[in-house]
C-alpha cells in the first residue's frame, strides 16, 4: 500500500489536458501560467472589441483557455517535474515559475524539505549499521580486505551518433562514391579539400573529414580503379559479338593537342573505347588507313569481338583513309557519317536559294528584335492574350524562340513558332504602331532617336509584309526535312534503311519544289551524296526490313529478285581471314542464304505467315529477324540481316564525347592529361547510362512533331526515327543562341562555306576511290551498277503530301528546351541602348 507521501498533492496547481504524453504520464499545464496567458488574451479581446467579457461568455472563455494552454509550456504529469517547475532547479534555483501562487510555493517547499530530511535519515541509519558490523568483521579475520573489481561503465564503449567512426569497408565505399559524385557533377578534384566542405562533412559525422578525398587520391588510385571497372564491364558487353561497329573523329583540346576519339557501337548503344593523341602523326590517306587498321586490330584483340564496320566523317583525309582501309579489308563496311552529310545539305539549300536565305535572315532578326526589347515584347504578348482569349477562351502567350547554331531542329521550330504568332504580331502592328515605336525609342533624342525609330519601322514593315510570311512558310517546308534528317541521323541506333528513307523523302520533297532552279540544284546534291556511298548496303538494308521490303521503291527501280540476290555483300562479310570454313561449306551456306532470300522476297516457305503476323510484332526489323533466325533454314540469312541492320552510319556519339571533353578540360583545368581525361570520360558515360537505366536522369521520349508522319517525307514511320536520343546533352549549347541578322549571316556563311568545301573535295576525289571498295571481287562486283534516287523512288512522287507544319496546340519537347534556354539567358540580354556597368564601378561614389 502506498504511503501518504507517495500521493501527488500538487495536482491542484496543475491543469490536466486529458492527453497522455507517453504510456504513463499526462500532459499538464501550470494553472498559474495558464491564468497569466488567459488574462493577456482577455485584455487584447477587450481592447479590440471595446467591451468587457463577463462570466456568461462560456465559448470565449473556453477559447481563451485553449489558447492560453498553447502559450504555456506543457509539462509531464510527475511530482518531480511539478516541484522543479515551481521552485526552479534543485541546486541552482534557476528558472522558477514566476506565475505560481503563494500556496503552491509553500506546499512545494514543504514537500522538498520533507524529502531531504527522509534522505538524510536513511543515510544515517546505514552508516551506524556499517560501524557495528565492522568491529565483528575485524575480529573474525585479520586479513586485509580484498579489492573489489570495479565494473567499467558501458558509456566508455559507446559513441554518439555523429561521432561513430568508419570501418575500412565503409571508408572504401564512401571514397568510391565520392569519386562518382565528383565525375558526375563535373566538380574539381580538390573540392573535398575545401575548408567549408570539410566543415559541412564534420557536421554530419565528426570522423568524416579524416576519410575525405584529396585531389591526388581522386586523380590517381580511385579514378584508375573506377576506369578499370568500367573497362571490364565494356569488355564483357563486347565479348563474342560479331556485329561491332566503331566510329572515329578528330578533335583539338584546349592544349592544342589533336586527339582521335574512338567509340564502339553494340546493339545500338555507344561506348567510349579510347582517346588517342595524334598531334605528331601524319594525316594523309595512307597514314589514316594504317591507324584505322591498328585501332581495329587492337579492339578485336582486347575486347574479343569482330568489328564489322568503321564510320568516319567525309573530311578528305579521313575519307581517303577509310576507303583505302575498305580496299585492304574488303570484308569490312566503311560508310561515311550521314549526320554530317545532312548538315552540308542544309548549307547547299541556302547556297542555291538566296531568297530562302534572305527570308531566314529577316525572320531571325525579327525574333531577336522582339526578344531584345522588353516593352515591345509586352505589346505583342498582350495581342496574343487577346486573340487566344477570343478564340479559345484561354489567354495563351507563346515565347519567341531563338535558333541555336548547332541544334538543327531549332531553326525550323523557331520559324514555325513565328508563324504561329503571325496574327498577333500583325494585329499589334496595325492597331498599336505608334505605341511600338515609342516603346523602343523611349527617352532617346537626336541621332539615337532617329536610329531607333528607323529600326522599329523596319521591323514593323517586315511584320506587315505578306510576302515575308509566304516566303517563311516555304522556307519552313524546305528546311524541316533537312533539319530533322540531321537530327535523326545523330542517334546511336539509326539504321541504314532509315537513312535511305530520309534521303528519299528529301529527294521527293525537292522534286516538287516550286522553284525549278532550287529543285534541280538540290536533287543534284542529293544524287551526288547517294552516288558517293556504298549503295548496296543501304538498298539491302531496306529490302531486308520485313516491314518495308520492296514496297518503298518506285516502279522504275528495277530491283528484281535475281538482281538483289547477285549482290556480293555476304561474300564480302564472310571473307575474313579468320573464317575457317572450307570452300564446300561456304558454298552450302551461300546456297542456303540464296534460298532463304528468295523465300523472303516472295514471302513463301518460312515467311508465308509473316503478312498475317506482322501486325502483332513491334515495328522493329531487328526483333523480327531475331525471331526468324530461330528457323534452321533461315539462320544464315538471319545472321547476315542482323549484321546489316545494326550498322550505324554516323559518329554523333564521338561528337558527344568531345562535347564532354570540352566541359571537363577548360582553360582553368588545362593541365588534365589525356589519359586522365579518357578515364573521366569512360566513368562519366557509365554513370550517365546507369542513371538513365534507373530512371534517375531525364530521358527524352519519342517526339511527336509532325501532323501526318507518312506524308511528311512520303515514306512511313518518319516520326519513329526521332526517338532514342537520350544521350544528348540538353545543356550543351547554352550560349549559342542566334538573335540577330548578323549572327544568322555568319552562320549561313559557315554552312555555305562547308558545302562548297565538301563539293570541291568531292570533285577532287578520284572516282576509283569510291568504287574501289569492291575491287577484291571484280567478277561479282560488276553485277551491280550504281543507280539513282530518281530511279529507285521516282514512282512515289505521285503520292499526295500535305503541308508540313506543327499544329498550334502542340508543344514539342524541342520548343520547351528552347524556351528554357531563352529564360536562362533572359537576364543576360540587354535592351537597346542599355549599358552593362562593370561590377567594380557600379557602386563607386
Q: 704, 719 in Cβ contact below 8 A?
A: yes
Whether the pLDDT of residue 734 is over 70: the answer is no
Does pLDDT of 766 surpass 60? no
pLDDT on residue 381: 94
Q: Is the pLDDT of residue 137 over 50?
A: no
Instruction: Name which of 45-59, 78-92, 653-667 the model is least confident about.
Output: 45-59
- What is the rounded distance in angstroms from the CA atom of residue 685 to the CA atom of residue 269? 11
Candidates 178, 174, 153; CA nearest to 165 is 174
* E strand or H helix that includes residue 271: strand 269-277
Query: Where is pLDDT greater, at 800 or 618?
Result: 618
Instruction: Find the mean pLDDT for residues 634-647.
Output: 92
How high is the pLDDT of residue 139? 46
Which of 55-64, 326-335, 366-375 is the least confident region?
A: 55-64
Residues with Cβ < 8 Å from 349, sequence gap 6 or more? Answer: 356, 478, 479, 482, 518, 522
CA atoms 510, 515, 520, 522: torsion sign: negative
The span from the CA of 662 to the CA of 14, in Å, is: 71
> Can you tell me the distance from the alpha carbon of 622 to that of 620, in angstroms, rounded to the nearest whole number?
5
Averaged pLDDT, 217-240: 92
User: Phi/psi at 207 (nearest 5 deg)?
Assistant: -85, 0
Cell of 688: 550517365
CA 230 to chain centroid, in Å, comes to 21
Q: Which of 706, 37, 794, 20 is nearest to 409 (CA)?
A: 706
**pLDDT above 80 (res 427):** yes
Structural contact between residues 346 and 407, judged by C-beta atoms closer than 8 angstroms: no
pLDDT at 152: 60
CA dihedral 43, 47, 51, 57 (to 10 degrees): -40
Residue 642 has pLDDT above 90, yes or no: yes
Mean pLDDT of 712-724: 34
pLDDT category of residue 729 using cuts at 50, 70 and 90: very low
Residues 169-196 have a mean pLDDT of 87
Q: Is the pLDDT of residue 417 over 80?
A: yes
Picking from 548, 544, 547, 499, the residue whose alpha carbon sits closest to that of residue 526 is 499
Average pLDDT over residues 101-105: 81
Q: Taking Cα atoms as reference points, which of 319, 305, 121 lies closest to residue 757?
A: 319
**Please, are residues 513 and 663 in contact by the beta-carbon 8 Å criterion?**
no
pLDDT of residue 239: 94
Question: What pLDDT, on a 0 to 100 scale, did the predictor assign at position 804?
Answer: 38
Q: What is the mean pLDDT of residues 170-198?
A: 87
Who's near 773: CB < 8 A, 6+ residues apart? 323, 326, 327, 330, 334, 534
- What is the rounded distance in angstroms from the CA atom of residue 235 to the CA atom of residue 431? 68
Predicted model pTM: 0.68
Q: Which three cell numbers stand for residue 831?
A: 535592351
Q: What residue spans define the domains of the chain?
A: 9-116, 166-213, 229-337+651-693, 343-543+698-814
Residues near 522 by Cβ (< 8 Å), separated by ≥ 6? 345, 348, 349, 352, 506, 510, 513
The least confident of 121-125, 223-227, 634-638 is 121-125
Collapsing DSSP to helix, strand or coil, 511 comes out as helix
98 pLDDT band (50/70/90 cuts)?
confident
- Comparing 451-455, 635-639, 742-746, which segment has the lowest mean pLDDT? 742-746
pLDDT at 631: 92
CA-nearest of 193, 201, 233, 186 to 217 is 193
Q: CA 716, CA 801: separation in Å to the nearest integer?
A: 12
Q: What are phi and psi of 119, to 5 degrees?
A: -70, -45
Burial class (CB in 10 A: 0-12, 13-18, 19+), 527: middle
- State whether CATH 3.90.79.10 applies to domain 229-337+651-693: no
Q: What is the mean pLDDT of residues 346-361?
A: 88
In whole angstroms, what is the distance from residue 101 CA to residue 323 CA? 103
Q: Give the position of cell 579489308.
A: 329
Residue 575 has pLDDT above 60, yes or no: yes
**Lowest-confidence pick of 380-394, 551-565, 667-681:** 551-565
- CA atoms of 580 and 475, how far apart (whole Å): 56
Report the percent of the chain where pLDDT is more than 70: 75
Mean pLDDT over all residues of the chain? 77
Check residue 78 and give its pLDDT. 83
Which position has the higher pLDDT, 504 or 123? 504
pLDDT the model gives residue 654: 86
Confidence grade of residue 731 (pLDDT, cut at 50, 70, 90): very low
Q: Give the pLDDT band (50/70/90) at residue 798.
A: very low
pLDDT confidence bin for 301, thresholds 50/70/90: very high
- Give a three-class secondary structure readout of 585-635: HHHHHHHHHHHHHHHHHHCCHHHCCHHHHHHHCCCCHHHHHHHHCCCHHHH
At residue 18, the pLDDT reads: 75
Strand 244-252 and strand 307-311: the pairing is parallel
Residue 421: name the closest of 399, 406, 438 by CA: 399
Mean pLDDT of the 258-284 span:
90
Helix locations, 2-57, DSSP H: 31-49
Separation of alpha carbons 307 and 241, rounded Å? 9
Contacts of 654 (CB under 8 A, 6+ apart): 247, 248, 249, 261, 262, 263
Amino acid at each position: 500500500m502506498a504511503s501518504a507521501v507517495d500521493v501527488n498533492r500538487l495536482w491542484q496547481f496543475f491543469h490536466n489536458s486529458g492527453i497522455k504524453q507517453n504510456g504513463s504520464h499526462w500532459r499538464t499545464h501550470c494553472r498559474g501560467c495558464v491564468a497569466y496567458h488567459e488574462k493577456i488574451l482577455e485584455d487584447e479581446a477587450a481592447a479590440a472589441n471595446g467591451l468587457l467579457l463577463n462570466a456568461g461568455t462560456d465559448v470565449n472563455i473556453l477559447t481563451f483557455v485553449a489558447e492560453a494552454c498553447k502559450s504555456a509550456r506543457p509539462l509531464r504529469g510527475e511530482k518531480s517535474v511539478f516541484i522543479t517547475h515551481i521552485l526552479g532547479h534543485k541546486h541552482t534555483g534557476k528558472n522558477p515559475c514566476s506565475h505560481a501562487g503563494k500556496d503552491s510555493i509553500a506546499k512545494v517547499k514543504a514537500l522538498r524539505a520533507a524529502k531531504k530530511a527522509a534522505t538524510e535519515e536513511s543515510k544515517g541509519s546505514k552508516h551506524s549499521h556499517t560501524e557495528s558490523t565492522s568491529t565483528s568483521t575485524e575480529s573474525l579475520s585479520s586479513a586485509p580486505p580484498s579489492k573489489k573489481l570495479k565494473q567499467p561503465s558501458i558509456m566508455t564503449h559507446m559513441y554518439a551518433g555523429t561521432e561513430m567512426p568508419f570501418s575500412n569497408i565503409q571508408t572504401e565505399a564512401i571514397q568510391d562514391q565520392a569519386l562518382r559524385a565528383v565525375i558526375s557533377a563535373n566538380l574539381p578534384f580538390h573540392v573535398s579539400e575545401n575548408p567549408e566542405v570539410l566543415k559541412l562533412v564534420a557536421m554530419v559525422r565528426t570522423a568524416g573529414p579524416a576519410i575525405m578525398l584529396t585531389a591526388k587520391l581522386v586523380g590517381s588510385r580511385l579514378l584508375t580503379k573506377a576506369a578499370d571497372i568500367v573497362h571490364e564491364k565494356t569488355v564483357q558487353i563486347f565479348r563474342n559479338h560479331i556485329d561491332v561497329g566503331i566510329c572515329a573523329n578528330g578533335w583539338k583540346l584546349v592544349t592544342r593537342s589533336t586527339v582521335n576519339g574512338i567509340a564502339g557501337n553494340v546493339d545500338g548503344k555507344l561506348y567510349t573505347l579510347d582517346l588517342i593523341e595524334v598531334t605528331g602523326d601524319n594525316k594523309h590517306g595512307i597514314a589514316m588507313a594504317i591507324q584505322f587498321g591498328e585501332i581495329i586490330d587492337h579492339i578485336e584483340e582486347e575486347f574479343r569481338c569482330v568489328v564489322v564496320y568503321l564510320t568516319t566523317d567525309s573530311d578528305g583525309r579521313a575519307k581517303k583513309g577509310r576507303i583505302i582501309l575498305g580496299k585492304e579489308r574488303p570484308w569490312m563496311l566503311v560508310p561515311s557519317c550521314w549526320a554530317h552529310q545532312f548538315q552540308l545539305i542544309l548549307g547547299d539549300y541556302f547556297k542555291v536559294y538566296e531568297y530562302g536565305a534572305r527570308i531566314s535572315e529577316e525572320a531571325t532578326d525579327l525574333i531577336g528584335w522582339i526578344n531584345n526589347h522588353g516593352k515591345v515584347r509586352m505589346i505583342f504578348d498582350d495581342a496574343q492574350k487577346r486573340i487566344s482569349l477570343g478564340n479559345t477562351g484561354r489567354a495563351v502567350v507563346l515565347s519567341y524562340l531563338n535558333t541555336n547554331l548547332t541544334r538543327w531542329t531549332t531553326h525550323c521550330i523557331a520559324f514555325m513558332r513565328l508563324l504561329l504568332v503571325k496574327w498577333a504580331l500583325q494585329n499589334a502592328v496595325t492597331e498599336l504602331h505608334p505605341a511600338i515605336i515609342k516603346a523602343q525609342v523611349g527617352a532617346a533624342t537626336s541621332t539615337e532617336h532617329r536610329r531607333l525609330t528607323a529600326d522599329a519601322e523596319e521591323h514593323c514593315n517586315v511584320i506587315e509584309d505578306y510576302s515575308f510570311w509566304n516566303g517563311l512558310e516555304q522556307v519552313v517546308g524546305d528546311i524541316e526535312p533537312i533539319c530533322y534528317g540531321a537530327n535523326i541521323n545523330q542517334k546511336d541506333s539509326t539504321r541504314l534503311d532509315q537513312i535511305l528513307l530520309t534521303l528519299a523523302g528529301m529527294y521527293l520533297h525537292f522534286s516538287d519544289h516550286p522553284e525549278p532552279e532550287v529543285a534541280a540544284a538540290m536533287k543534284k546534291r542529293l544524287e551526288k551524296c547517294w552516288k558517293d556511298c556504298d549503295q548496296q548496303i543501304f538498298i539491302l538494308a531496306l529490302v531486308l526490313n520485313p516491314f518495308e521490303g520492296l514496297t518503298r521503291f518506285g516502279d522504275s527501280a528495277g530491283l528484281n529478285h535475281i538482281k538483289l540476290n547477285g549482290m556480293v555483300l555476304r561474300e564480302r562479310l564472310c571473307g575474313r581471314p579468320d573464317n575457317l570454313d572450307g570452300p564446300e561449306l561456304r558454298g552450302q551456306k551461300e546456297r542456303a542464304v540464296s534460298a532463304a532470300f528468295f523465300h523472303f522476297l516472295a514471302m513463301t516457305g518460312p515467311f508465308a505467315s509473316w503478312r498475317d503476323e506482322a501486325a502483332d510484332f513491334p515495328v522493329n526489323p531487328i526483333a523480327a529477324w531475331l525471331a526468324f533466325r530461330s528457323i534452321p533454314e533461315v539462320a544464315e540469312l538471319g545472321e547476315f540481316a542482323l549484321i546489316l541492320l545494326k550498322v550505324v552510319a554516323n559518329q554523333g556519339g564521338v561528337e558527344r564525347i568531345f562535347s564532354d571533353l570540352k566541359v571537363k578540360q577548360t582553360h582553368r583545368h588545362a593541365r588534365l592529361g589525356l589519359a586522365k581525361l579518357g578515364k573521366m570520360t569512360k566513368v562519366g558515360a557509365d554513370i550517365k547510362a546507369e542513371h538513365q537505366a534507373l530512371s534517375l536522369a531525364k530521358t527524352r521520349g519519342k517526339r511527336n512533331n509532325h501532323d501526318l508522319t507518312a506524308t511528311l517525307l512520303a515514306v512511313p514511320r518518319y516520326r519513329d526515327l526521332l526517338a532514342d536520343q537520350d544521350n544528348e546533352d540538353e545543356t550543351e549549347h547554352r550560349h549559342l543562341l542566334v538573335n540577330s541578322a548578323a549572327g544568322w549571316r555568319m552562320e549561313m556563311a559557315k554552312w555555305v562555306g562547308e558545302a562548297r568545301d565538301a563539293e570541291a573535295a568531292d570533285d577532287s576525289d578520284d572516282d576509283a576511290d569510291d568504287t574501289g571498295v569492291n575491287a577484291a571481287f571484280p567478277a561479282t562486283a560488276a553485277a551491280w551498277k550504281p543507280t539513282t534516287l530518281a530511279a529507285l523512288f521516282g514512282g512515289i512522287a505521285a503520292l499526295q503530301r500535305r503541308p508540313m507544319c506543327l499544329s498550334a496546340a502542340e508543344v514539342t519537347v524541342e520548343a520547351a528546351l528552347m524556351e528554357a534556354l531563352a529564360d536562362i539567358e533572359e537576364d543576360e540580354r540587354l535592351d537597346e541602348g542599355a549599358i552593362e556597368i562593370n561590377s567594380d564601378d557600379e557602386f563607386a561614389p
